[in-house]
Amino acid sequence: MTDATVKSSAAAQRAALLARYRVEAGRYDELLAGNGRVRPHYETLISELESLGSEELKRRSDTGRRLVHEQGITYNVYGDPLGMERPWQLDPVPFMLGAGEWRKLEAGLVQRATLINRILADCYGPQELIRTAWLPPALVFAQPDFLRPLHAGRPADGNFLHFYAADLARSPDGQWWVISDRTQIPTGTGYTLADRLVTTRILPEAFRECGVQRLAGFFREAQATLGRLAPRKTDHPRVVLLTPGPFNETYFEQAYLARYLGYSLCEGQDLTVRDDRVFLKTLSGLEPVDVILRRVDDDFCDPLELRNESMLGVPGLVEAVRAGNVVAANALGSGLLQSPAFMAFLPGLCGQILGEELKLPSVATWWCGQKRAESYVTEHFDKLLVKPAFRSRLRGAEPSGPMSAAEKAAFLRRLRFQPHLWVGQERVEFSSAPAWTCEGLAPRPVALRVYVVATPDGYRVMPGGLARVAPESGGRLISMQRGGAAKDTWILADGPVEDVTLLSVAGQEVELRRVGNNLPSRLADNYFWLGRYAERTDSTSRLLRSTLLRFSPESTGHALPLLEPLLDTLVAQGQLPAAAEQPELRTNAEALEAALLAAIFDPAQSGSLRSLAGQLQRLGMLVRDRSSNDLWRVLRQLDDRLAMPTSSLVMLAGDAIGVLNQTLLQLASFHGLARENMTRAQGWRFLDMGARLERAIYLCTLLDAALRSPEADNPSVLEAVLEVADSAITYRSRYNLVPNMAAVYDLVLLDDTNPRSLLFQLNQLAKHFEKLPRERESALPSAGQRVLIECVTRLRLLDPRPINRLSSRWHDSDVGRAITNTLNDLPRLSDALAVNYFAHSAISRAR
């Protein structure tokens, strides 16, 4: 190829890439200048994208979607009938900003954070601004977010605002405006990081060529800031991330950040206040907490002193904060400044407090608590966006969409009755930025959220941010709740890019640690159930596979009795309805086939494999901050594999067996990862205990059903038992003959060299119990250990041989009784664990 052809093909590519890029009149476009030329800071990116070509871009965009899915980057949408969790929408084309423009924005953001911090300190302190009329009193006193119990408390380092975020929009003249301030819980840093990781994986060449500033430095500053807040003098301050729980819309990023920053993710019930100090409940007792990075709203944090219907918080937290024994970031009460009404007063306050002009303007705002503003807003009602001035709990009804004359009159009456509850704002014209669509690049309205962290040298801005684009071109609303997409934000560097990592600096002395017993009790609980559900899914798959393999719709009637033990086990485990409920299942092969397929794929049936996989994924979510990405990915794929549209339930048994085989392979990799990759700490121990216990219960259930069958000594029933217990190969290698009852039961019950035998599970459980932190407190065995000693002794004394002499009523034999008794004892073991280790009792209010 000659230079000329390269050029002309590049031109053709460019034509293809930007062919449909039509900037809407009256909008500022981030990519194209008024003359239709690509702006300089987008040039490198665009030529990189061009050299990839549309086909390749499409492929990479699909890869991006897959990465988002695999990593489980999700966003919970409230009230979504399709299930709460939604995949995060990521647009692969980054949002670009040049170094010079960024420096100006940075200066404006630092000034704004400094100002807001000072205003907060005054409102929660001397209230000079109110007494000198720089701030209208109603702006503070009428706000539900002004938390009086926090008044007159001074935060440890003097800062109320450790983290701050601002939403920015650019108007047609190219000016940036702040459209909202996030002063309480600036969400989105985790998503920003996740977006960066995905975007750089799909566009590595462009990322390298553009010279993009890195994000890691910001997170390191954040870690250092939180560490410095610790009131205890210690090298290892304990920072926890307090989450409202998995139903919160940004739970994903909370778990993600906790893991990235190395903090424990905990809910209110995991913490307790003793002697005015906050502690984390762990397996080995209470561990002091120094700093709480909170994702729980201000007024939900302490049901004793703040909003007392809240059960998300920690009773006594406010008093612990007051006593200076724990620090919350941001400080409790910082939500006050989130009110858009403050925007109307920032220019004046900036002059008064900092003696400077406000560098970054806010969108024009009129707070109706002032007479003149009220008249302006009522006169220009149709042009303005009128919305609540304060976060309101009961009266959410803000005007949305066009109103009839009567509706408008009614609304204005409400406004005039309590004008201070409303603000009017100019409607924002967003700029547009290139987004990837099925037709190439297209301009979409864009908003940018940027983040700031407090450091000893003042505020620092994250060089990047969370850009969001609207789903259509004319959009005025940009919201992830309503179908928008996120973009990574690339801030170009002036010079060489500095590489930063979160790992400790080399050469620093490190105290070697090997622990630990400090696993939060709730996580131990989650690991235990993760183990149980993984094993339940495994056993259920085996049982369903064995059933389907033995089942042929042609062989009706006489073949079914041999299936009975397997079907009874499926009934006992909740995969099939009881024979009494649907007797036709035992006579009609087609009905049975349908029921078996439903037991695999039907998400609405609580014991089905599909819903077990769903449970597994939910539990995986709860331990995400502590487990590897691979473990999560396996659970994710398992769920995907079983996610069949209900219409395809009409499927051949042969296909279903294929799916079951795949499922078993996925589970094998789950167990493999758990065995090979988890340190032998308490998390792994509880996972394994859960799996062992579940396997023991499953095995006993199966054997109990088999012994109750009139065909219990039938070789094909024994064969099925061996197969479900995954011991067929071992049996054949040892006995090389038609299954013999005593030999089969010996192998699956008593052989402690067989990792599938009952005794093996019990022995492993006993070993785990010995290592648990609270088992050695007493000279006598604990409740759980007693159960195990009883079960193990019973099995050790059992002689299976007499069973061969019976011709019926096998379950009345010694073997049968041992199985029944073990089956009754095992739940007691689970209870003993729960009482000792998982106790996180609920709090309630005493009136």
Partner 1 sequence: MTYRIIHRTTYEYSGPVTVSHHSARVNPRFTDVQSRRRFTLNITPEPAVRKNRTDYFGNRVCFFAIQEIHTRLEVEAISLVTLKASTPPALALSPPWNEVAELFRDPVSPEVVDPYQFCFDSPLVRTAPDLAYYARASFPAGTALLLGVANLNQRIFRDFKYDPVATSVATPLEEVWVKRRGVCQDFAHLAIACLRSLSLPARYVSGYLRTHAPPGKPRLVGADASHAWFSVYCPSVGWVDFDPTNDVLAGEEHITVAYGRDFSDVSPVSGIITGGGQHEVRVSVDVEPLSEGEARKQEWADEE
Binding region for partner 1 (CB under 8 A): 130-133, 136-138, 141-142, 144, 148-149, 151-152, 272-276, 303-305, 307-308, 315-316, 319, 369-371, 394, 413, 417-418, 420, 841-847
Q: How far is the CB of 382 from partner 1 (least distance, A)?
A: 24
C-beta of residue 327 within 8 angstroms of C-beta of residue 297: no
Q: Which of 447, 466, 479 is nearest to 190 (CA)?
A: 466
Count of other CB atoms within 10 angstroms of residue 701: 20
The C-alpha atoms of residue 92 and residue 427 are separated, in whole angstroms, by 28
Q: How far is the CB of 216 from partner 1 (least distance, A)?
A: 40
The C-alpha atoms of residue 290 and residue 228 are separated, in whole angstroms, by 10
Q: Toward partner 1, which CB reaches closer, 367 or 529? A: 367
b/e map 28-60, b = 16+ CB within 10 Å: bbbbbeeeeebeebbebbbbbbbebbbeebeeb
C-beta of residue 650 within 8 angstroms of C-beta of residue 487: no
Q: Which of 562, 560, 604 is nearest to 584 (CA)?
A: 560
To which residue do tokens 């984390």 refer?
280
The C-alpha atoms of residue 264 and residue 686 are separated, in whole angstroms, by 18
Q: How far is the CB of 626 from partner 1 (least distance, A)?
A: 25
3-state secondary structure of 308: coil
Q: Which of 283, 286, 287 is nearest to 834 (CA)?
A: 283
Count of other CB atoms within 10 angstroms of residue 604: 9
Residues 6+ apart with CB under 8 A from 204: none
Tokens linked to 161: 């605002």
| Helices 346-354 + 99-123 axis angle, to 10 | 80
Q: How far is the CB of 150 from partner 1 (least distance, A)?
A: 9
Using CA atoms of 754, 757, 760, 765 in order, give the dihedral in degrees to the nearest 10.
150
Q: Which uninterrupted H or E stretch holds 221?
A: helix 216-228
Three-class SS of 311-355? CCCCCCHHHHHHCCCCEEECCCCHHHHHCHHHHHHHHHHHHHHHC
b/e map 426-461, b = 16+ CB within 10 Å: bebbbbbbbbbeeebbbbbbbbbbbbbbbeeeebbb
CA distances from 142 to 136, 348, 385, 649 (A): 10, 21, 21, 58
Q: Toward partner 1, which CB reaches closer, 64 or 315? A: 315
Using CA atoms of 523, 529, 530, 531 in order, give the dihedral in degrees to the nearest 10.
120
Tokens linked to 785: 């250990």
Tokens linked to 465: 């941010």
The C-alpha atoms of residue 454 and residue 460 are separated, in whole angstroms, by 6
Tokens linked to 209: 């060529």
The C-alpha atoms of residue 323 and residue 642 are separated, in whole angstroms, by 53
Q: Toward partner 1, which CB reaches closer, 1 or 394? A: 394
Residues 6+ apart with CB under 8 A from 89: 480, 483, 484, 485, 486
Q: Toward partner 1, which CB reaches closer, 120 or 585? A: 120
Beta bridge partners of 239: 291
Q: Toward partner 1, which CB reaches closer, 303 or 739? A: 303
The C-alpha atoms of residue 610 and residue 606 are separated, in whole angstroms, by 9
b/e map 115-146, b = 16+ CB within 10 Å: bbbbbbbbbbeeeebbeeebbbebbbebbebb
Q: How far is the CB of 272 from partner 1 (least distance, A)?
A: 6
Q: How far is the CB of 131 from partner 1 (least distance, A)?
A: 5
HSE, side-chain direction, 13 A CA sphere, residue 29: 23
HSE, side-chain direction, 13 A CA sphere, residue 503: 4
The C-alpha atoms of residue 290 and residue 276 are separated, in whole angstroms, by 12
Three-class SS of 680-747? CCHHHHHHHHHHHHHHHHHHHHHHHHHHHCCCCCCHHHHHHHHHHCCCHHHHHHHHCCCCCHHHHHHH
Q: Toward partner 1, which CB reaches closer, 291 or 317? A: 317
Q: Toward partner 1, which CB reaches closer, 302 or 538? A: 302
Residue type, 44: T
Q: Toward partner 1, which CB reaches closer, 192 or 378? A: 378
Q: Toward partner 1, which CB reaches closer, 78 or 417? A: 417
Q: What are phi and psi of 449, to 5 degrees?
A: -105, 130
Q: Toward partner 1, which CB reaches closer, 25 or 133? A: 133
Q: Toward partner 1, which CB reaches closer, 785 or 836? A: 836
